[in-house]
Amino acid sequence: MKIAIEAQRIFRKHKHGMDFVALETIRSLQQLDRVNEYFILVSPGEDRCLEETGNFHIVEVKCPTYALWEQVALPLSLSRIKPDLVHCTSNTAPLYCPYPLILTLHDIIFLEKKKGGNQSLYQRLGRIYRRWVVPRVISKCRLIITVSEYEKEHIQKELCLDASTITTVYNGLSPVFSPSRKDRAIVQKYMPEEEYLFFLGNTDPKKNTAGTLKAYSLYLKRSRRKLPLLIADLDESVIDALLLKEGLTEIKSRLYFPGYIPNKELPYIYTGAFAFLYTSWRESFGLPLLEAMASGVPVVTSYTSAIPEVAGEGAILVDPANPDAIAQSLVELEENPAHYENQVSYGMSRSKQFSWDQTGRNIKEIYLSI
């Protein structure tokens, strides 16, 4: 078969969740499938993180905007390839696609009522685009892939899909996340103090950044160690606005906010942390919590959405609307060494249940079945 995979953003320097899922899935398929011919359609970028092999071809498609790239430039490129199958990996797809189409729909958060209003302009425009495209493209797909049973049931109900048209393929976990990834020199670029808490935030309201900062302020009042908090992916101006709005400006001296941390350095950041906070309102999967677990770091996370499905029953699951519970979970990790070690062991064991190799095998089976 000739299989075309849309992976538009994997070459961009600042990659995020869906970009890594697409990239790691393609890498897994490269190792597993030496028979079928693949065409990986990407937008040009600085980070050439994928190399061609005998049956894997990289097709760079230039276009000034995401929407035009997907709706105009991508279909034109597909018309030259004439694939037997097209897989779009990041929630949206071209409205015109005369080839069998598979769509990975990670979530439908964009169809839900917003929780908070602190999205960036880029996020707001993306939300509008997805709200317009997804309902129109769903009926054109041979199959919808999503990343958790929670999300599968949610999508099926909200979009009135037949159960046979949607399936779950769990994300995997890279072996680079390991307790052995220790390098103080890398960590010091972002965090000068020896011990710290770690939080991956952004301006999306679902990340519950304001609630997490409230919880951290309570933690500072109760903890004897008062560890600093390292926050990735948030600019100082955003943090300042949140602190001012929530009346928490006094905690800023204990915050470190270096902005975007490259994925190649994240394993060292996880491993160096005392604990990882993943207190989102809503996640369709929750890859960072597995990355932290695999790094030997306890995770305080939410009992909402797909998070318990991924974290498992033995994880520290709290109400993301309850800053007091989040703070108390951190204090308990500090004051109870046996509890801390149990969480480290549990996380290491749980994370081993997920691999990109298995993800790739499941995707390959879907391709062959279509």
For residue range 314-365, list pLDDT tens digits in order: 999 999 999 999 999 999 999 999 999 999 999 999 999 999 999 999 999 9
pLDDT of residue 201: 81
Confidence of residue 202 (pLDDT cuts 50, 70, 90): confident
Confidence of residue 287 (pLDDT cuts 50, 70, 90): very high
**Predicted confidence (pLDDT) at residue 116 exceeds the cutoff of 90:** no
Query: Which stretch of 192-206, 223-237, 239-253 has the lowest confidence by average pLDDT?
Result: 192-206
Mean pLDDT, range 4-17, rounded to an integer: 94
pLDDT of residue 112: 81
Confidence of residue 205 (pLDDT cuts 50, 70, 90): confident
The secondary structure of the chain, three-state, reads: CEEEEECCCCCCCCCCHHHHHHHHHHHHHHHHCCCCEEEEEECCCCCCCCCCECCEEEEECCCCCHHHHHHHHHHHHHHHHCCCEEEECCCCCCCCCCCCEEEECCCCHHHCCCCCCCCCHHHHHHHHHHHHHHHHHHHHCCEEEECCHHHHHHHHHHCCCCHHHEEECCCCCCCCCCCCCCCHHHHHCCCCCCCCEEEECCCCHHHCHHHHHHHHHHHHHHCCCCCCEEEECCCHHHHHHHHHHHCCHHHHHHEEEEECCCCCCHHHHHHHCCEEEECCCCCCCCHHHHHHHHCCCCEEEECCCCHHHHHCCCCEEECCCCHHHHHHHHHHHHHCHHHHHHHHHHHHHHHCCCCHHHHHHHHHHHHHHC
Mean pLDDT, range 174-199, rounded to an integer: 96
pTM: 0.92
Average pLDDT of the chain? 95
pLDDT of residue 117: 56
Confidence of residue 148 (pLDDT cuts 50, 70, 90): very high
All domains of the chain, ordered by start, with CATH?
2-172+355-369 (3.40.50.2000), 184-351 (3.40.50.2000)
pLDDT of residue 338: 98
pLDDT of residue 115: 59
**Predicted confidence (pLDDT) at residue 114 exceeds the cutoff of 90:** no
Query: Which stretch of 231-235, 266-270, 323-327 has the lowest confidence by average pLDDT?
Result: 231-235
Mean pLDDT, range 210-227, rounded to an integer: 97
pLDDT of residue 120: 67
